[in-house]
């Protein structure tokens, strides 16, 4: 099979699966309800997704796990976490985290 067909079919299948998982909740309406335990667990989905997106940027470089104190992204992340806990400001967290990262990389 031509690789363009494989790519096209993969995209179509992904689109249909995404549509189906969302349509279940929309079309099911009140006949399909989530239990209280499931609803309670949904609170943890956004932080888990955010951590899954950010952690590789902090800890992985060129396929290697970098946990040393020489990792500038680790220090910037720690500063960003502290700023977020203290100020609760997204703008301050991003600004100071980036400033620390750029400062360490400049040194």
- Same domain for 17 and 69? no
- Same domain for 53 and 11? no
Residue 80 CB burial class (10 angstroms; 0-12, 13-18, ≥19):
buried
Residue 8 tokens, joined: 């096209």
pTM of the model: 0.63
- Same domain for 74 and 104? yes
Distance CA 64, CA 67 (A): 10
Within a domain: residue 38? no
Within a domain: residue 6? yes
Per-residue pLDDT of the chain (107 residues; tens, 9 = 90+): 678 889 999 999 999 999 988 888 788 766 777 788 988 998 999 999 999 999 999 999 888 898 888 899 999 999 999 999 999 999 999 999 999 999 999 98
Residue 97 CB burial class (10 angstroms; 0-12, 13-18, ≥19):
buried
């Amino acid at each position: 099979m031509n690789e363009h067909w494989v790519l096209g079919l993969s995209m179509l299948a992904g689109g249909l699966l995404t549509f189906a998982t969302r349509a279940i909740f929309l079309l099911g309406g009140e006949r399909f309800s989530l239990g209280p335990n499931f609803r309670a667990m949904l609170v943890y989905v956004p932080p888990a997704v955010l951590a899954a997106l950010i952690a590789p940027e902090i800890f992985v470089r060129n396929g290697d796990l970098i946990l040393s104190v020489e990792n500038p992204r680790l220090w910037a992340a720690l500063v960003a976490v502290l700023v977020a806990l203290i100020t609760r400001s997204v703008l301050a967290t991003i600004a100071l985290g980036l400033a620390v990262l750029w400062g360490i990389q400049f040194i």
